[in-house]
Structure 1
Amino acid sequence: MADPFLHVEAADVYYGASQILFGIDLAVEQGQTMALLGRNGAGKSTTFKMIAGLAPPRRGKVALAGQGLAGRPSYRIARAGIGYVPENRQVFPDHTVDDNLIVAAKKGPRGDHHWNRGRIYEVFPILASMKDRLAGRLSGGEQQMLTIARTLMGNPDVLLLDEPSEGLAPIIVQAIGELIKTLRGMGVTILLAEQNMHFCLGIATHATVIDKGQIVYRATIDELRHNEDIKQRYLAV
């Protein structure tokens, strides 16, 4: 049987002498929207940093389309097809929306460039209406959309979205959810880290639950929806 498209196997991550992730196993198939769910501090962001090369595993495997990524510098992991949207957005505030997109433009790992500014503005019409506005003057939700759009300009094979709903007004969270469903419908492979389970129930296809740095549950999103024990034990606030 072929390995999953994005495959993490038996990965341990340390910050100094402190172990944060313990034998992480994670599998995302091409075209899936996988929700990595867990409470604050469970290890979601560290898992993303591990995949993106910002917190390399001390042991274990990280691979994309059969290509090993563990131990590579983060810029090479990005070139291999990992697009990382961090939780703190990190737009270039003194540059326009259009400039933020231009600076991130590159071909994908196989030379493809499906995502360009024209396509971005079709999928993100709100950004098209403010392309000459400084990114620092956008609202939090608009900056979140810009960060996702900027990452797509790199034509990644997998999009890592770290807490995209955090700190946003409910109406903006709904808009972000609709955007993710649009990307899913376009075949984009998405790994989504969230502690907002209800947000994920409407947009993800599969779920993996992490607790105290360990994977404790894997299922389809429908199976999670009906598993009250898992929801209460690991996801209730």
Structure 2
Amino acid sequence: MDTPILEMRGANVFYGASQILFGVNLAVQRGQTMALLGRNGAGKSTTFKAIAGIAPPRGGQVLLSGHPVSGQAPYLVARAGIGYVPEDRQVFPEHTVDDNLIVAAKRGPRGDRHWTTERIYEVFPILAGMRNRMAGRLSGGEQQMLTIARTLMGNPDILLLDEPSEGLAPIVVRAIGDLIRQLRDMGVTILIAEQNMHFCLGIATHATVIDKGQVVYSATIDELRGNDAIMQRYLAV
């Protein structure tokens, strides 16, 4: 099998003296859409922060295309090819949609520039009609789309989406799901952290389940769909 585009090997992560992740192993291949599933507090967001360099592991490794990035500053991790969309969106509210995109523009780790403002507006037509609107005046769903688009402007190797459906109306969740499917079909490699299992079942190609800071299951999404025991034990609300 090819070298994973993203891999965690035995990652232990602490907040102060409290250990949150216990030997987490995770691998995402190029072109996959991997769902990191688990209940609230299972360790999903901490996993993302560990990957992004915000909460670096005290033990274990994070590798990008086989190269260790553990312990590097977050801006260096981003420059290496990690595109991180946090759960609280964090748009620049007093700047326009266009400004939010332009400020994030950079070449990818190999100098590629697949994502430009022109391509973003083709893939995100709803944003094209709002390009001169202040980002702080967008709805929650529109801000979520903008943060995803802004992260793509950095031309990352992998896109990390932390709880993209959280706090959004059902109709908006469907629109976000359609967008992620479109990105998946375009070949974008995606890791989604979600507690909304049903949202991911129609989007992801693979799934990893985390519980109490440990990975307890990893398989294709079809295998998860057929495993009632895992879904009831770790994902049922």
Q: TM-score range by the shorter chain?
A: over 0.9
Match runs of 1:166-185 below 5 Å: 166-185=166-185
2:10 is matched with 10
Q: Distance in 1 between matches of 2:112 and 2:223?
A: 36
1:60 alignment counterpart: 60
Write the distance in 2 (CA, Å) between the matches of 1:8 and 1:218. Answer: 13
The aligned residue for residue 100 of structure 1 is 100
Distance in structure 2 (CA, Å) of the matches to 1:184 and 1:46: 24
Whole-Å separation in 1 of the counterparts to 2:211 and 2:66:
27
Q: Distance in 2 between matches of 1:54 and 1:222?
A: 32
Structure 2, unaligned stretches of length 5 or more?
A: none
**Structure-to-structure mapping, 1:215-230, within 5 angstroms:** 215-230=215-230
Q: Normalising to structure 2: TM-score of the pair?
A: 0.99
The one-letter code of the counterpart of 2:168 is L
In the TM superposition, residue 66 of structure 1 has moved relative to its aligned partner by 1.1
**Which residue in 2 is equivalent to 1:212?**
212
Q: What SS does the corresponding residue of 1:26 show, helix, strand or coil?
A: strand
Measure the CA separation in 1 of the matches of 2:107 and 2:67. Answer: 18
Q: Distance in 2 between matches of 1:97 and 1:168?
A: 20
Residue deviations 1:16-62, cap 9 Å, x none?
00000000000000000000000000000000000000000000010
Give, as a single letter, the amino acid of the residue that structure 1 aligns with 2:169: A
| Residue of structure 2 in register with 1:233 after alignment | 233
SS at match of 2:4: coil
1:155 aligns with 2:158: no
Amino acid of the residue matched to residue 230 of structure 2?
A: I
Percent of aligned pairs with the same residue? 78
Q: How many angstroms apart in 2 are the aligned matches of 1:227 and 1:6?
A: 26
Distance in 2 (CA, whole Å) between partners of 1:25 and 1:67 is 16
| Structure 2 counterparts to residues 33-72 of structure 1, below 5 A | 33-72=33-72
Matched, 1:88 2:94: no
Residues in 1 aligned to 2:140 and 2:4: alpha-carbon distance in whole angstroms: 34
Task: Report the AA paired with residue 70 of structure 1.
Answer: S
Q: How does 1:196-211 map to 2 (within 5 A)?
A: 196-211=196-211
Structure 1 residue ranges (4+ consecutive) displaced by more than 3 angstroms after TM superposition: none
> Per-residue displacement from partner, 1:101-126 (whole Å, max 9, x unpaired)?
00000000000000000000000000
Aligned-partner SS, 1:230: helix
Contact 2:11 2:59 in 1 (8 A): yes
Superposition RMSD on alpha carbons, in Å?
A: 0.6
1:4 Cα deviation from its structure 2 partner: 1.6
**2:104 is equivalent to residue 126 of structure 1:** no
Residue 78 of structure 1: aligned partner = 78
Quote how far apart the aligned CAs of 1:185 are: 0.6
TM-score, reference length from structure 1:
0.99
Give yes or no for contact 2:2–2:29 (8 Å, CA) kept in 1: no
The more displaced of 168-177 and 2-11 is 2-11
CA distance in 1, matches of 2:185, 2:2: 24
Q: Specify every segment of 5 or more residues in structure 1 that has no aligned partner in the other structure, as ranges.
A: none
How far apart are the structure 2 equivalents of 1:138 and 1:2? 41
Superimposed CA distance per residue, residues 116-170 of structure 1 (whole angstroms, 9 cap, x where no aligned partner): 0000000000000100000000000000000000000000000000000000000
Aligned match of 1:28: 28
